[in-house]
Amino acid sequence: MQIYLPIAEVSVNAFMLLGLGGLVGVLSGMFGVGGGFLITPLLFFVGIPPAVAVATSTNQIVAASFSALLAHLKRKTVDIKMGVVLLVGGLIGAAIGVQVFAWLTRMGQVDLLVQLCYVVFLGTIGAMMLIESLRALGRARRAGGALPVRKQRTWIHALPFKMRFRTSGLYISVIPPVLVGLFVGLLAAIMGVGGGFFMVPAMIYLLGMPTKVVVGTSLFQIIFVTGFATLLHATTNYTVDMILAVLLILGGVVGAQVGTVIGVRMKAEQLRILLALLVLSVCGKLALDLLLMPGELYSLADRRGG
């Protein structure tokens, strides 16, 4: 069934969009990533103009994350206090990111920046997670299933403005979470992603939060940051396509619930290895696009100038 999208101004198959939303929803529920890093390139691929794809995917992330967050709130795996601290940084980061995005669009280098960001961040984080998870899995096997929990004292514990996060069982400075949040907000505005792929590992390895509350807390921050980004895109570029968003959401909300169920049944290490492999494959594909000579050297800028 073909459907004409009023803002994107293209006609696409409605069932394909539902399926696309569903697939990304499953991943969103499983890993706590918004799925923007998958949905944005997939939307380019089906012929949605890049500006509309970026703006609409932020809207879709809000919905996909909302249903997943409800599931996490019910299980009390959300550190709301930590979420708010991350959010403060996130809103500042998003506001800066929008300015950077507008400037690079004028320079014609926004695609390059987005691709480079994907390759660098996804590559580094994917590799780090894979190595760490494989090592943890190996340790768990040798130790007969018991995971050694070590609380390391690093430079992070020496920073001022300490705050107690009871749900996470942490007593750390607010500076690292605010900076993490700020960076995620920056990525959200520039790359059209929720930023979960960066925030989840940062929370685990940098802040030392327990894996159990990481997914729910990152979803909490993502909802507000992407919601803010959606409003900015709608009011400055008029590129949020409501019909496209609704189709992606309908597929996505169902997928997210399925994903949450799968996520609960799997071991944290297995989950991390899977996410690492997924992140690395997306990164590999984008790296090849940059390194190999493209079939078409010329491209047309979006006619709306976005």
Single-letter amino acid code for the residue at 156:
I
Q: In the complex with other proteins, which residue's Cβ is closer, 10 or 277?
A: 10
Does 4 sit near other proteins (CB under 8 A)? Answer: yes
Strand partners, 170: 165
- In the complex, the smallest distance separating the C-beta of residue 86 from other proteins, rounded to whole angstroms, is 20
Q: Which of 32, 19, 38 is nearest to 67 (CA)?
A: 32
**DSSP string computed for 58-99:** HHHHHHHHHHHHHHHHHTT---HHHHHHHHHHHHHHHHHHHH
Strand partners, 162: 173
Size of the site for other proteins (CB under 8 A): 55
Does 109 sit near other proteins (CB under 8 A)? Answer: yes
Q: In the complex with other proteins, which residue's Cβ is closer, 69 or 273?
A: 69
Does 111 sit near other proteins (CB under 8 A)? Answer: yes
Structure tokens at 68: 């997943």
Does 294 sit near other proteins (CB under 8 A)? Answer: yes
Interface characters, 225-254, with other proteins (x: CB under 8 A):
--x--xx-xxx--x-x-xx-xx--xx--xx
Distance CA 39, CA 21 (A): 8
- In the complex, the smallest distance separating the C-beta of residue 130 from other proteins, rounded to whole angstroms, is 24
Of the listed pieces 81-89, 128-136, 204-212, 294-302, which binds other proteins according to CB under 8 A?
294-302
Cβ neighbours of residue 255 closer than 8 Å, sequence gap 6 or more: 21, 22, 23, 24, 25, 26, 27, 28, 29, 64
H or E segment and range at residue 171: strand 170-173
- In the complex, the smallest distance separating the C-beta of residue 272 from other proteins, rounded to whole angstroms, is 25
Interface characters, 35-54, with other proteins (x: CB under 8 A):
------------x-------
3-state SS class at 3? strand
Give the interface with other proteins as residue ranges (CB under 8 A). 1-4, 6-7, 9-11, 47, 59-60, 62-67, 70-71, 108-109, 111-112, 227, 230-231, 233-235, 238, 240, 242-243, 245-246, 249-250, 253-254, 256-257, 289-294, 296-301, 303
